Amino acid sequence: MAEIINDVTYDEQRKLKVDIYKPDKVGFGDKILLFWHGGGWFRGDKNSIRDLCQKISDKGFTVFAPNYSLAPQHTFPAAHQDSINFVKWLMHSEFVINKKPHITQIGASSGGTMALNIAGKYGFPTVTWSAPVSYSAWMKDHQNVTPAVDGRNELDLSDLHDINDAFYKYFTLAYAGSEDEKVLKKIDADSYDYSNLQQLLMINSADELSPIKYLLNFINFLAQNNHAVDLKLIAGKRHAMTYANQYLEDSLAYLLNAVK
């Protein structure tokens, strides 16, 4: 069973905290995994991934699960900057004892979008679960969609695609703060710097909240810039955490292979 160190402050100004899961009966090793929770940048919390983090720690990783600033109080680029600030804090913290630690990442949903930015900047081997990658193009293609957290109850929608679209538009606008295309383009995953990108596995369901059309466009963008990417497309409509337990072993095997 992992030893859990709760609520370590990594950003005094914003009062942001991280939970740390240390493998049982061992010190802080050089095998580190960052887990970025999802929630569309307007909800979600590190406490929601406790069970997964414990399972990951049982595989020998020291797991860091940070919280980050949430919309609408904190709009783009707040959460993205928090993730960068966290990495900077981590690298100078007492928890990293090896000068060249093996740092990996898993990002769920919007947490996966942030993980892509970190992967490009720092080169950490990364697995994303249903990371949304398009905001500016998606908004152009869905101008008639009414945003809603729960389209079924708020808008009386019954079709899952319509419900997903309403939610996608809601969290996009919540984080962007407006429909300003310049801001939306900066959130787009293809706007990030991938100079240091290493191993990347993207997992996505065939028909879910994060549309395949935009994911394939993003993969094409990476290919055009001579970056490798592994895609695991799974059948069905499940999004991120709803398939997490089924694909956790695959995700960890990928990351372990990357750092061995």
DSSP for 93-125, please give it: STT--SSS-EEEEEEETHHHHHHHHHHHHH---
Across the range 200-221, mean pLDDT stands at 98
Distances (CA, A) of 249 to 52, 72, 191, 236: 11, 34, 30, 19
pLDDT of 29 reads: 72
Burial code of 149-173, b = ≥16 C-beta within 10 A, e = fewer?
eebeeeeebeeeebbbbbbbbbbbb
| Residue 26, pLDDT above cutoff 70 | no
pLDDT of 90 reads: 97
Distance, CA of 202 to CA of 170 (rounded, Å): 23
| Residue 53, pLDDT above cutoff 90 | yes
- pTM summary value: 0.96
Strand order in the sheet with 16-22: 3-11, 16-22, 62-66, 31-36, 102-108, 126-129, 200-205, 230-234
Q: Could you tell me which residues come within 8 angstroms of residue 137 by beta carbon, excluding any fewer than 6 positions away?
A: 188, 214, 217
Kindly state the DSSP code that residue 12 receives in the 8-state scheme.
T
Query: Which percentage of the chain shows pLDDT scores above 90?
Result: 93
Distance, CA of 119 to CA of 193 (rounded, Å): 9
Q: For residue range 114-127, list pLDDT tens digits in order.
A: 999 999 999 999 99
Distance, CA of 138 to CA of 132 (rounded, Å): 10
| Residue 195, pLDDT above cutoff 90 | yes
Domain 3-133+189-259, CATH: 3.40.50.1820
Give the pLDDT band (50/70/90) at residue 25: low
- Could you give phi then psi for residue 84, rounded to 5 degrees? -65, -45
| Residue 176, pLDDT above cutoff 80 | yes
- Indicate the angle between helix axes 244-259 and 50-57, nearest 10 degrees: 40
Count of alpha carbons within 13 Å of 43, Cβ hemisphere only? 6
Average pLDDT, the chain: 97
Q: For residue range 86-113, list pLDDT tens digits in order.
A: 999 999 999 988 777 899 999 999 999 9
Give the pLDDT band (50/70/90) at residue 66: very high
Q: Could you tell me which residues come within 8 angstroms of residue 72 by beta carbon, excluding any fewer than 6 positions away?
A: 42, 174, 177
Distance, CA of 174 to CA of 157 (rounded, Å): 21
Across the range 212-240, mean pLDDT stands at 98
Whether 212 and 233 have beta carbons less than 8 Å apart is answered as yes
> What amino acid occupies position 107?
G
3-class SS letters over 59-82: CCCEEEEECCCCCCCCCCCHHHHH
Q: How many distinct helices (H) and strands (E) make up the chain?
A: 9, 8
| Token pair belonging to 4 | 């859990």
| Residue 71, pLDDT above cutoff 90 | yes
